[in-house]
Structure formats: C-alpha cells, structure tokens
Structure 1
Amino acid sequence: MPTDDTAPVITGIGITAPTGIGVEAHWAAVLAGKSGIDLITRFDPTPYPVRYAGEVSGFSAEERVPSRLIQQTDHWTHLALAASEAALADAQVDPATLPEYEMAVVTSSSSGGTEFGQHEMEALYQHEPEWVGAYQSIAWFYAATTGQVSIRHKMRGPCGVLCGEQAGGLDAIGQARRLTRRGARLVVTGGTDASLCPYGLTAQLSTGLLSTVADPARAYLPFDRAASGYLPGEGGAILVLESAASAAERGAREPYGRVLGYAAGFDPAPGSGRPPALARTARQAIADAGLTPDDIDVVFADGAGLPAQDRAEAEVISGLFGPRGVPVTVPKVLTGRLYGGGAPLDVATALLSLRDGVIPHTVGTDELAAGCELDLVTEQPRTAALRHALVLARGHGGFNSALVLGR
C-alpha cells in the first residue's frame, strides 16, 4: 500500500457546531447520537415552513471574540474566529514564532454575513441611509472570515476563500494542501456558516430542498425511504494544516491525520446526457492519494436527504466499492447541513474516527431506500481498524468534491 510521508498533516482542530463547542464535546455528542437539531431560537420561526435547525447553543461571542470585532463582523465570522483560536491552541502553535509570509488562511463560505446584512438592510428601509454602518461593506462579504483570521494572527501568506456551498469546505482544504506544496508552512483552513435569520432562511427555502416535516427526528433522513430533504444548521470547523516538514521542525505532537488526496468536479448541464461528476471526482481523489478503492475503510457521505440525490450518491459509492462494500456514515444528521462549514466538520469527524478506530452511526435512518445498496452504519457506532477515509461533498448548483484522509 503506498504511503506519502510528505503529505501535509492536520495538527489542530477547532469546532463550533450544534453538536458542541470543542473537539471532545463534539465527538462525545456524535458517538452518543445526541442531536443538535432543535427549534430555532435566533428568531421566531413560527411563520416559516421550516422551524428546526442546528444552532450552536452556548456560544457567546463576548467570551470568545474581541469586542471591537463583534461590532464589525457577522455571527458566521464570530464562530470562525473562535474555532481558529481553538485550532491554533490545539496545534500548540504560536503564530508569532513563524514567518508571517509563510502562513496562509483559506476558508470556505456559502452565504457570507447574512444576519449582519439583514440588520443593515432593516436600518436602511426603516430609517435613512445614514443609519447603515460602514462595516456593512465588509461584514457581509464572503471573504470576511479569511480576512479577519489573517489580520488577527498576522498571517500574510497567500489567502483566499472558496465558494462552492457544501463542497467548498473540501475545496478550501484542497487549496490549503496546494499552498503547503508551494512553500507555506502552515495554513488555517476549513470554514463555518450561519444563515439562521429570516433573510437567510427565506433564501434557503427558495431552493425547495429543505424538509418541512414537523418532527425534527424524522425531517433529515439521508438514504432512507422516507427522505424528504434536509434541515439547515450553523457552525463548522477550522483546521490547522501544516507541511510535514514544518510540523516536524517545530516538534508538533502527533497529528490527527494526513491529507492524501483531493479532487473537484462540476456536474454537466441538465439534459446534456453526460453523467454527474461525483463518481469521477471520487476516483480521482483516491488515485491522487496513490490508493485504490480497496484501501478506503470508511466513507463520510454527502447525504443530502433528497431521494434522487441520495440514490445517485449511493450508486457512486456502490459502483466504486461494490454493493455494501464499505462502511458509510452521515454524522451531519445531528447538525443539519452547514453549507460552507459542513464538509470541514465532516473532515474533523473523520479524523477523530481514524484516531479512535470508531465509525459514528447515522441517527434516524432505519430503512434504506430502493437503490441504496450501502453498508450504512446505523443504530450505534461501529469499531473498526481504520487507515483511510473518503469524505464526499456536493454543493447546490453542481459543485462536488472528494478528500482522502490517512492516519
């Protein structure tokens, strides 16, 4: 089996998610099957057909973000700033000790500062233009989180943001890997999202993909015969990705894992007769890692919870590994789909899975839909010898990405 000792390593993880704040709180909730889905509290959801979502409960920006930044940035950026601090602390790295032009920041974003933007639009419509704050010009911007993390930690290397909805989280990590190959010592990567406000929820409802089932325990059921869509959420994960040489040079502790392979694709236009790109993308990521499908021990599926999309993804997985040929899991049922933060949280969960040799279960799904010939882990976590994990992500509009992680 090929190995790549030069592959970049993930040395730190910061999590602000509906399942918990912090690595071990999140992991304990995932293994216990404790859902972070509940009635929306950030605003009154009564007038809306979707009233449940995954909120990051117990998060206080005042306790975790400098006061001046709270006024200048959106809740989405607050979650990322807190997760970045936690990831750097987890990696036991002090950015002040590293060359500032050899550190980079690459995050994913979907909606940008939706809640901040809504408040500023309310000020405009209800009052006068003078009521709109100057920070509206930057707080809503999809690159705001990358910019604020970069400024706060004086990371002046190549910085960027990837906007591929759910798939963008893997794209950001793929770009971070690319930067380490070009000389970056350390890259803060991953992402968060937060669109739980009236404006944000209305925009999400326009896709027609959200589940309107009134029972939150039955609303988001990927690969299930009763699948009816998904529930939204907020939060995500920030990762510290380092070149293997840099991590060794500074004496970093044993990393969570390595980023071995990555690929991205885009679906062809409907009606073109060409197949969706996910199968090709997954194969390319595995090949990029120098592996074969036989080397993959677990798949963290995208799990959209939409019958047609679930069946298409199940066919990709069974086509790669054979019917029921590899354990599959969808832990995001506990958080809802987090858009720009969803795939980074899946990566963090997959790394913990590799670390502990445990595959988390998919809560709620109890009867696979026709055509979904998967070994979906349900009912309880499964102990297994794990070497490599494949993480899949698809974004609204045709984006899809795949990432291969190794111990």
Structure 2
Amino acid sequence: MSDRALITGIGVVAPNGLGVKEYWNATLEGRGGIAPLTRFDASRYSSRLAGQILGLDPAEYLPNRLLPQTDVSTRLALIAAEQALADGVVDPAELVDFDIGVITSNASGGFAFTHREFANLWSKGPRFVSVYESFAWFYAVNTGQVSIRHKLRGPGAALVAEQAGGLDALGHARRTIRLGTPLVVTGGVDSALDPWGWAAHLSSGLTSDSAEPDRAYLPFDTQARGHVPGEGGAFLIMEDEHSVLRRGTGHSYGELAGYAATFDPRPGSGRPPGLRRAAELAIADAGLAPSDIGVVFADAAGTAELDRAEAEAITGIFGPHGVPVAAPKALTGRLFAGGGPLDVVAALLALRDGLVPAVPYEGKTPTAYGIDLVRGTPRPTAARAALVLARGRWGFNSAVVVKRADPG
C-alpha cells in the first residue's frame, strides 16, 4: 500500500452544471445557478433565492424502483457516484467488492421526503406513511444506497459536520485507503429546498434577503449580506496509487495530500477560532510549507463577521495579499456537505488547467481583510498545490490540500 491517495474520477451535480465539463465551463465563464426558488411558493419568506439544480429528471439516470424510496439528496448522490465511477473507468464487477468503500457526508438528511411523509401522517394517518421513511430520512442513506446499487462491500461511513462534513468525508476516505482499502467512492451532497428545509436554512439568520441573483451572495465584499442556500455537490473516486497502476487507467486529477479538522473553542473563551490551525495542520500533513500553496479555495460565508475571521486566518498564514483566493460557491450557493467536495473539484481543475476561477460580480473587498480575491475573469496560475477550507455551524473547521497530478 502507498500513502498517496489519488483522485481518478469525478462526478458533479451542481446548480450551474451537471458533470465535470459543464460545471467547470460554467465556473470559468462566471455562469451561476442562483435564481428564485421554484420548489414551492416562497413569496412569504424573507429569502427567496436558491442554488437549484433545474432540468434534471432522475428517471433518466436511475431505475424506477429507486425513485419511490429516495429523497432528492439521495438521487443526487446516486447520480454523482455513477458519474464518478464512469469518469474513473471503474467497473465494480471487475474488482473485488470488499476492496471498494463508500464514505459520504450529508448535513440535512432526506428533508423533502420526510416532510411529505409527515404531511401524510398528519392529514391521512400512519397507514399512508411510506415504509421507505424508515431509512430515506437518514444521513447515512446515501452511503448505503450507493453501496447497494454498485455492490460495494468495503468500509462504509457517513460524516455529519454541516459545511465542513464534505471535506471530512474526503479525509476519512484517505485514512481508509491508508488502512488498506484500494479504492473509495467519496464525497457529499445536500438538498433541503422544501418548505421545512427552507425554514431550517432561514433559522440560521445568515441567509441573504436580496432579490437580485447576481448580487445576493457576495463573499468578502463590502456589501456582503449573507449566503444563498443551494443543493448538490460532488463525488470522487479516491484510489491508492498502486491500485491505479494495477487497473492501468493511467489517469489522475491529482492527489489529496493533506487533511486536518479542528473545533472552535466555546464562545467567550477568548481563544481564536480553529480554522487557521486546521489549515496549518493540513499544509504540514501534506509535507508542504505555506509558500508551496498557490491558491486558497475559501469557505466564503458571505457575512462580514465570518468573512473577516476567515480573512484573518488566511493572512495569518500567507501574509496580506500573499495568495490568490477563490470563492466559486458564489455561483452555486452554499451546498453544505456538498460544498467542500465541489470546491476540491474546482481546485483540482484549476491546478490542471492553470486557471483560478473568479467571482463574477463587481465589488470591493474591505481593505482590512488583506486578501487577494480573484474577481472578474479567471487568473492564470502555475500553482502545484491548493488549499480548500470549510466551516460548519457550531464550530466545525476542515481543510484539505490537493496537489497537481504528476505529468509523469
């Protein structure tokens, strides 16, 4: 076994693109997926914009028997996993089933499915509640459904840490590979855009009340007013390098070289947030120094307090304007468990193509932040490594370092 964990396949289900190519083209072109919420009548709510995946018919991707037993988020997970396996040229039937694990993250569970079944319970009675409610609501169901669909019997896990959970899933997948599993399907998705889920989003007090899709989510901006919730995410095939050689695919997007997670101290303790420490530990875990990091993909919360705290963490490590900062989630909204893996995809593609995606809106970053936010158009880069950051509510911090694929 090798300590190197390579990314050999990617599947993307994002508000601004399905599949790697469509998502990446939209991101480089500044095409977003934020629009008025259409899943229900949101006119009475203070926030009415969302990063929705539109025009996706799950019946085109999944067998009919799966549709009655799956929530929106599980359908997205199954589609992303299928894409990732195909992209990585992985045919589970040709491999040992116990050699393939599934490790996912989800923050919301099956919100829309459960809301519908609760409505049946209250209005019609328990006989009208779907038997699939017993598992369709659960955070771990995506791991289970992907495993069952592809007959994958290796180690399985599900991690829950809100926005930070997606990176935690990737970190746990790398750990699983180092413990001897050759290949892991890993990533995260979320979807909670039904009335119940929407109320949960708004209860944070951190969502934008703007009615302008292009101006609603402005991370690191003087006019930042909160984030826009979204749905979707990404799945990746993570593989031991010897497995890659054995399979003979000859393809890798890059390496997940470093990972770390921390937890913030209790409020009022006087101790600093844990994001900087997570980033420093991830860089050290990758065997790199801050000067080796060519771009940071930020958590980009979109509120003054949280953006300032993240800017302080970045400048504390790299110095003022010491590294380009990207925030592609400004195009999709915050995807919670799906946001970190999608940013990792963007980071790998940025390293591959030598282009850092830009936030598309005109604006101004507060001088006090001291960060070099990439705006307007993509910026050329010769970076060989990128840092990806994520924070979850209630104190979760995660960071990963990805390295560019070795041309050899």
- Map Cα deviations across residues 89-128 of structure 1 (whole Å, 9 max, x no partner): 0001101111111110000110010000000011011111
Secondary structure of the residue aligned to 1:105 is strand
Distance 1:252 1:397 in 2: 42
Which of these residues, 180, 185, 201, is aligned with residue 204 of structure 1?
201
Taking the aligned partners of 1:250 and 1:119, their CA distance within structure 2 comes to 44
Note if contact 1:330-1:361 (Cα within 8 Å) is conserved in structure 2: yes
Aligned equivalent of 1:66, options 40, 63, 67: 63
Residue aligning to 2:87: 90
266, 270, 283: which one aligns with 2:263: 266
Match of 1:159 in 2: 156
Any idea what SS the aligned residue of 2:368 has?
A: coil
Q: Which amino acid aligns with 1:176?
A: A
Amino acid of the structure 1 residue aligned with 2:292: D
Q: Distance in 1 between matches of 2:56 and 2:321?
A: 39
- State whether residues 3 and 178 of structure 2, in contact with CA within 8 Å, keep that contact through their aligned partners in structure 1: no
Residue 370 of structure 1, CA deviation: 4.2
1:292 to 268, 289, 293: 289
Q: Write out aligned runs for 1:45-64 (5 A).
A: 45-64=42-61
1:403 aligns with 2:400: yes
Paired with 1:95 and 1:254, the residues of 2 have a C-alpha distance of 17
Is residue 15 of structure 2 the alignment partner of residue 24 of structure 1? no
SS at match of 1:320: helix
The aligned counterpart of 2:327 is: 330
Equivalent position SS for 1:218: coil
Matched, 1:246 2:214: no
Output the CA distance in 1 between the equivalents of 2:183 and 2:95. Answer: 9
Q: Tell me which of 160, 171, 176 is aligned to 1:174.
A: 171
Task: Name the count of aligned residue pairs.
Answer: 403
Residue 355 (str. 1) matches residue 327 (str. 2) = no
Q: Secondary structure at the match of 1:219?
A: coil
Which residue of structure 2 lines up, in the alignment, with residue 386 of structure 1? 383
The answer to whether the Cα contact below 8 Å between 1:225 and 1:369 also exists between their aligned partners in 2 is yes
How far apart in 2 are the matches of 1:22 and 1:253? 21
Residue 8 of structure 1 aligns with an amino acid whose one-letter code is A
Task: Report the Cα offset of residue 19 of structure 1.
Answer: 1.1
Give the AA of the match of 2:213. P
CA distance in 1, matches of 2:103, 2:113: 22
- Distance in 2 between the 1:314 and 1:128 partners? 52
Describe the SS at the equivalent of 2:54: coil
SS in 2 for 1:328: strand
Cα offset, 1:6, TM superposition: 4.1
Residue 122 in structure 1 maps to residue 134 in structure 2: no
Query: TM-score by structure 2 length?
Result: 0.98
Give 2:276's match in structure 1, choosing from 266, 274, 279: 279
CA displacement 1:1-57 (0-9 Å, x = unmatched): xxxx84110000000110111100000000000010011111121121111111111
| Letter matched to residue 284 of structure 1 | L
Deviation per residue, 1:347-405 (Å, 9 max, x gap): 11111111101000012251012421111100100011120000000001110100000
Match for 1:131: what amino acid? F
Q: 1:204 to 1:327 in 2, by over 3 A?
A: same
Residue identity over aligned pairs, in percent, reads 55
- Which of 103, 106, 113 is matched with 2:100 structurally? 103
Partner of 1:225: 222
Q: In structure 1, the residue corresponding to 2:24 is in which secondary structure?
A: helix
State the superposition RMSD in angstroms. Answer: 0.9
The residue that corresponds to 1:38 in the other structure is 35
Structure 2: where are the runs of 5+ without partners? Answer: none
TM-score between the two structures when normalised by the length of structure 1 = 0.98
Stretches of 4+ aligned residues off by more than 6 angstroms: none
8 Å CA contact 1:106–1:146 kept in 2: the answer is: yes
Q: Which residue of 1 aligns with 2:373?
A: 376
